[in-house]
Amino acid sequence: MRAGTTYSVLSSFISNKMRMSHIYQPAMLIELLKNGGSADVQDIAKALLVRDISQIEYYEQITKNMVGRVLTKNRSLAKRDKNTYSLNGFENLSPAEISSLIDLCSEKIEEYIDKRGDRIWSHRKKSSGYISGTLRYDILKRAKYRCELCGISAEEKALEVDHIVPRNDGGSDDPSNLQALCYSCNAMKRDRDDTDFRGIAESYDIREDGCIFCEIDQSRIIAENELCFGIRDGHGVTELHTLIIPKRHISDYFDLHQPEFNAVQSLMDGLKREIEKMDGMVSGFNVGVNSGKDAGQTVFHCHVHLIPRREGDTENPRGGVRGVIPGKQKY
């Protein structure tokens, strides 16, 4: 590459030709540019690590639940205010004393590493060995770029490829033994846990012929996300009475997966705000679910009622949802 063209070639590649499946390419280029045009593999790896939010989340949990708890509660050496930790009496330390204490801590770290070796990082080697980028891509694509346990998307939290049967127990790298889990779910999964979560993700596509919600007229949908949608109730008890409905065909609210609970709540929050903007007279809401025939359920595809309330829409609103049992609303 001629010297005069270096900038134009690189800027053109970055602006127009770079195809990204992650942040790695620009992060590596930054490291090369900051270090005179060259950097060894370890330095590049460190630069990528700094930008890996999932690693930061992991060590945030270590700080809050382990080391931070020891230093604040057990030893009273530090205090915590929300997400900030402060050393007790730090203002009384001289610069020389601070430097000496840092040296002491560094010596403790070196002594511990000398004694224990690489084993101290074994908890981070959940699935030792290399999984090719192509195989990783296939597994994440199969999972629709969502954690197959909690359902969070790859845009929200970094996903990892997990061995269902761990390698330590003879598990292979065959795609049938691999699943996509977000960092948090994978961290909670013990090394000898061989639970297969793939069926959860697949279940979101379940629909039932003849179900009025599975076959809903798309023109009725007023809002949706990946796991649920909202419509106005066809027989609303008040104006703008709205239903939030999981896309998966499931009859009982209590059988929803956690991602569906999250999706329903998120969509309901948005629809509530929208209703309040549309009608300034709305001063309250009833939220309800009929779960089972004896609870009044007539359409056996789970749905949540969001019912706007206005002053004076009933003679006496006291007791609210207690009114599902005649005579029990007032108390």
- Residues 160 and 186: beta-carbon distance below 8 Å: yes
Phi, psi of 205 (to 5 degrees): -90, 0
Question: Could you say which of 203, 237, 254 is where a domain stops?
Answer: 203
| Whether residue 319 sits in one domain with residue 257 | yes
DSSP 138-168: HHHHHTTTB-TTT--BTTTS-EEEEESS-GG
Question: Is residue 84 included in any domain, yes or no?
Answer: no
pLDDT at residue 253 in the model: 96
Q: Do 233 and 320 have their domain in common?
A: yes
Annotated catalytic residue: which of 257, 301, 303, 305? Answer: 303
Helix residue ranges, H only, the chain: 6-12, 24-34, 41-50, 53-62, 68-69, 95-116, 133-142, 183-188, 198-203, 258-278
Could you tell me if 191 and 245 lie in one domain? no
Is residue 5 in some structural domain? no
Per-residue pLDDT tens listing for the chain (331 residues) = 444 567 777 788 788 887 776 677 888 888 888 888 888 888 888 887 777 766 676 677 777 777 777 788 766 788 888 888 888 888 888 888 888 888 887 888 788 778 877 666 655 554 445 677 788 888 888 888 888 887 787 777 778 898 888 887 788 888 888 988 887 888 777 666 777 777 776 787 899 999 999 999 999 999 998 789 999 999 999 999 999 999 999 999 999 887 788 889 989 999 999 999 999 999 999 999 999 999 999 999 999 999 999 999 998 899 889 888 887 777 6
Residue 257 annotated to the active site? no
Q: How many C-beta atoms surround the C-beta of residue 211 within 10 A? A: 14
- Residues 230 and 154 placed together within one structural domain of the fold: no
**Largest separation between any pair of C-alpha atoms in the chain:** 88
Are residues 230 and 186 located together in one domain of the fold?
Answer: no
Distance separating alpha carbons of residues 297 and 289, to the nearest angstrom: 8
Query: Is 70 contained in some domain?
Result: no
Q: Which residue has the tokens 């896309």?
A: 247
The answer to whether residue 31 sits within a structural domain is yes
Reduced to 3 states, what is the DSSP secondary structure of residue 279? coil
| 229 shares a domain with 151 | no
- By the 10 Å C-beta count (0-12 exposed, 13-18 middle, 19+ buried), 239 is classed as middle
Token representation of residue 168: 């330590």
Q: Is residue 28 part of a domain?
A: yes
Per DSSP (E only), the strands in 31-158 are 78-81, 84-87
Q: How many Cβ atoms are within 10 Å of 259's Cβ, its own excluded?
A: 22
Residues 222 and 318 in one domain: yes
Residues 308, 279 contacting (CB under 8 angstroms): yes
* Whether residues 243 and 153 fall in one domain: no
The reply to whether 248 and 295 lie within a common domain is yes
Final residue before a domain boundary, out of 147, 169, 203: 203
Amino acid 285: pLDDT: 97
Q: Looking at the domain assignment, is residue 87 inside a domain?
A: no
Residues 6+ apart with CB under 8 A from 150: 182, 184, 185, 258, 259
Q: Please report, for the domain that includes residue 317, its CATH number.
A: 3.30.428.10
The residue from 203, 227, 261 where one domain ends is: 203
Are residues 193 and 223 located together in one domain of the fold? Answer: no
Structure-block tokens of residue 244:
């939030």
One domain for residues 227 and 279: yes
Domain that holds residue 42: 14-50
Overall number of domains in the chain: 3
Is residue 189, in this structure, part of any structural domain at all? yes
Give domain status of residue 177, yes or no: yes
For residue 261, the tally of other CB atoms under 10 A from its CB is 15
